[in-house]
Structure formats: C-alpha cells, structure tokens
Amino acid sequence: MISTYNYQKKLTLNRSVLQVKMDFNTDLCFVDDGKVGLVQDLVERMDLDKLVRMYSKYGRKPVVNPLTMLQILIFCYSEKITSSRDIEKSCRYDVRVKYLLDGQIAPDHATINRYRQKLEPLIKDVFEQNVNVLLEEGHIDLSSLYVDGTKIEAYANKYTFVWKKAVLKNQEKLRVKIIKELGLLESLDIKSVKQCLSYVFNELGKKVEKIEFVYGKGKRKTQIQRDYELYESWIKRMEAYETHLQIMGERNSYSKTDHDATFMRMKEDHMLNGQLKPAYNIQFASSGQFIVGAYGSHHPSDMHTLPLFLDELYPRYDKYLKRIVCDSGYESIENYTYLDERDLESYIKPSNYEVSKKRNYKKDISKRENMIYDENGDFYICANGKKLTRQKDSHRTRSSGFKEILRTYKCFECESCPYQKLCNKYSKSDNPQTKSLSFNAEFIKYREISYENITSCEGIDERLNRSIQSEGMFSKLKEGLSYNRFRHRGLDAVICDIHLIALGMNLNQLHRKLLKNQTEIIKYRKAA
C-alpha cells in the first residue's frame, strides 16, 4: 500500500537541535537554523503519490526512499550544490544531509542521476504541489503574476553551431550543381532532384558490380568509379542537410553537442564582442517573492514564450489569475489576443513607452499618434490639414501562424505640401510620394488599454513589483546560487533542473520569511 502525506501541518521553525543517527550507534547533535526540518515538512505536505508509484513495491527496494531523495535534492540545490558528485559528497560528509538520510545508505552519483532522470516527467507536478503548500500557508497571491525571462548557457560546445541560413544556401548550391550535372529541369525542387539522383545512382550501382575499385597513389580511377563516388557524396550531403533542417525546425540554429540548444546573444559575454552562445530561454513567474512557475524554451525571443508558458499555468491556477505583468519584450498582437481570450488583464509595457515620452517624438508630424483622427469619417488629418483616407485592408500571416488585418490610410495631396520632407522622410524631392499609414487596429486598441493599466496607480505598483521580484529572482539564481550554465543536455533535463533550482529558491525564501516571522504576502508600494 502506498503511503500518502495529505495531513495538514503548520510550517514553523520550532526545531533548533536535531539528532543524527550514526552507523556506529552514536548520536550526533547539531544546531540547525530550521532549514533542514523545513524541507522535511514541505515534502511531507506535498501529495507525491505519482512519484512513489514510479518505484515498484516488488523486487529490490531503492537505495534511498524517493521522498527522502527529493528532500536531499531540494536542500542541496538551495545550498548551491547542483552536481551529482557534489551531492554524493554532501550525503557522505554533511551532517545536515545525513540527518535527512536518517540512517539510510548514502547514494552515489549514478543513483542520484538516475533519480533525477526519473523525476523529469513528474517535476512540474512536484513543483505544483510546492506552490499549493505556499498558497495554503498564505505566502503568495496569484491574482498578479510577474513574468520575466533570462538566457542561461547550455552545456554544449560554443563552436559546434549549425545555421539554417547556411544550410539552405549550401543545399541550393548543391541542387543547382546536380541539375547541371544530370541535365535536369531547372524548376525542379530539392526533393525531386534527390529522387532523380537516387535513381541515377542506383542504376550506376548495377554497373560497378563488375568493376574493381582502385585507391591510392599512382592508381587511375575509371569514370564510372568517379561518378559513383561523386553521386554517393552528394546523396550523403543532401541527407545531412535534411537532418539539420529537421533538428532545427522553426529555429535558426542549433548546437551539435546539444540539439535542443539554440545560439542566442548573451548579456554575460566574457569576450565583450557580442558573440552568440548555445543557450536556453528560461521564464519565471513570481508572486510574493516566490517562484510559482518555471518554463524552458529554445526560442531566443520572450515574445513567443508567453502563450506557451501560460498554457501550463492557466489550467492550474485559472481561478486565481487576474492580471499578467510583463516588460516590453512580451508585447505582440498574439500575446494581447491570448490574454484577452482568457479574461486576463494586460499589464505589458508598450515597446514605444520610453521613446513616446520624448519631446522629438511628440513633435514628429509623421507619426500616427500626432495626427487627428475622425472616428465618424474614419480618416486622419495631417499637419497640413489634408485627409488620409482608408484604403483596402490587407491580410497578413505572421511566422507563428497568427493572422491579422492591417488598415492602410493614404493621402494623395502630398506633391505641393510644405511639410513633405518632415512628414514623408524617405521620399525624394523630385519624386513626391503619397503619405501612407499601415497598422493593426486591434493591436493599437490593446496597446492603449495596456498603457492605461500600467500608468494607473495600481499599474505603477505592479511594475515596481515586477522589476523587484522577477528580476530579483534571476539575480538570486545567477549571483546568489552561481548558476550561470546548465549541467545537463536536452530540453527535458534542463526543465527538470530549473524546477529543482526554483524549489531550492522557494525553500530559501520561505526560510528567510519564517526566521523574520513574516507571515504576510510581500508586495511593494511606491513611496508617496
């Protein structure tokens, strides 16, 4: 029968002296600040039936109880111990970890690594249980979710990169070369060219069975042998290009040593030349200085990660979520639409927020914002009093597949306009152009709503909390825990590792709050 831990227990720091069971029948007592006992209480409060079921009750029992192993991992990650060999060392020599083992045999690094691999498909459920405990204790309020992202270097070689642009270029060169060699139609695509080449190669292979191939210096190859080897190398190159494109998918690059890693521009550039490194885009959602959600992606831009991230969080906490607070890197029509469909208030800082406050921007007569709009007639009036009338709307599909409608307004009276050079900066003096405005009306509407939200008194407080809480999490991650590079390869392993880090950071934050006897939700307010 599988034991469960569903009983309610108030989290306190009431244990100061703890007793460790030693193998030689001697007890060792040590003074604890409450952190070791706290991680035990946290794990006991979680519903971890799925984790326990992964280990069969028949046959050989695991070296360490899976719940005890989870306690050890969370505690070690909170102490900047993330390597499996370093965790093994802590299990052998750290009295705090030996207390968690409670007389069980210290696991070796291979056992720890296998456990971490078993944990990968369940880590999100384990983290959800941690968030549920914090909710029950009243330490977090999920009405406002502060989202931010950072890039962490992958465990991959910096110079084993493959770029999509280079692959497509070389693939096209090879296609042209094969067409010229075999005399094929120039309009054939790469797939048809490969089929033709494979057919010619197979037919040639029937002839070479009777021919002895020669190699080495002073040997003269026959024309059939040279053609056979040439066509074989072309087929291998085409297959290699196909493999590269298949691995990349929607991305523009990948690393040969970690196929899930994408080359991104990092802020922490030790060479100070803006070089690209294989990395992952890590997203944190925070509340009350606790991490309530973590997400790993190989998308370099934060813009594309928000819907994917919220798809995981929304079904779990939809009854709590009210508003999403992000910086300008998340602004897009797709994200605005996504939040609107789920009745979530958008507190996204517009990308033009800072520049729109400048004097030059407000005086720029070429900007749509500085023109007069007649809602009844649906036209704009420029600085010269001329009308920009609405033309035919155009439809556009973004790279993500999102379809949008663009409105276009034009003025056909610009030839003799005295403001022509200021209004239409890219037109030539001897060849006047018509003034044109093209934009997504839905995007403008969403941006205005978001602007009103962030400039309100509540919005100013929300932006303050986002900058302190979200960005503070990454400061604790990189500077406090010295976690600047992943220790594992593959997206699944990275996601598991970042959730373990988040569990350790939540443990540290809860420990600090309980030491200070802080029970209220941490939320900052702007000084009056």
Helices 66-78 and 491-515 meet at what angle, rounded to 10? 70
DSSP type of residue 485: B
The pLDDT of residue 459 is above 70: yes
Share the mean pLDDT of the chain.
87
Domain boundaries, the chain: 17-137, 144-156+267-353+449-498, 162-255, 369-440
Q: Residue 4 is encoded by which pair of tokens?
A: 């469960």
Dump pLDDT digits (tens) for 466-511.
988 888 888 899 888 989 999 999 999 999 999 999 999 999 999 9
- Which residues fall within 8 angstroms of residue 377, CB to CB, at 6 or more apart? none
Q: In this structure, which CATH number among 3.30.420.10, 3.60.15.10, 3.20.20.70, 1.20.20.10 belongs to the domain 144-156+267-353+449-498?
A: 3.30.420.10
For the cut 50, the answer to whether the pLDDT of residue 9 exceeds it is yes
Distances (CA, A) of 255 to 70, 87, 200, 325, 487: 31, 28, 34, 33, 15
Cα–Cα separations (whole angstroms), residue 29 to 21, 32, 98, 101: 9, 9, 12, 15
Q: For tokens 């296609």, what's the residue?
A: 175
Query: What integer pLDDT is reported at residue 269 of this predicted model?
Result: 61
Name, of 57-71, 314-328, 391-405, the range with top average pLDDT.
314-328
User: Residue 454 has what pLDDT?
Assistant: 93
Question: Could you give the count of Cα atoms lying within 13 Å of 411 in the half-sphere of its Cβ?
Answer: 25
The pTM assigned to this predicted structure is 0.87
**What pLDDT, on the 0 to 100 scale, is given for residue 28?**
64
Count CB neighbours of 197 within 10 A: 22
* 498 φ/ψ angles, rounded to the nearest 5 degrees: -70, -30
d(CA 137, CA 80): 26
Contacts of 392 (CB under 8 A, 6+ apart): 408
3-state secondary structure of 64: coil
Give tens-digit pLDDT for 341-388. Answer: 999 999 999 998 888 888 888 888 888 888 999 888 889 998 888 888
- Rounded mean pLDDT, 108-114: 93
As given in the structure block, the two tokens for residue 171 are 């693939």
Beta-carbon-side half-sphere exposure of residue 424 (alpha carbons within 13 Å):
22
**DSSP character string of 377-428:** TTEEE-TTS-EEEE---EEEE-TTS-EEEEEEEEES--TT-TTHHHHSTTSB
**What was the pLDDT predicted at 122?**
93
Q: Is the distance from CB of 161 to CB of 479 less than 8 angstroms?
A: no
Q: What is the pLDDT of residues 408-441, one digit of tens each?
A: 998 888 878 888 888 877 655 455 578 888 899 9
Lowest pLDDT segment from 22-26, 50-54, 258-262: 22-26
Count CB neighbours of 50 within 10 A: 12
Q: Where are the alpha helices (DSSP H) in 211-329?
A: 223-248, 306-317
Distance in Å from the first CA to the final CA of the chain: 59
Residue identified by tokens 């709307």 is: 393
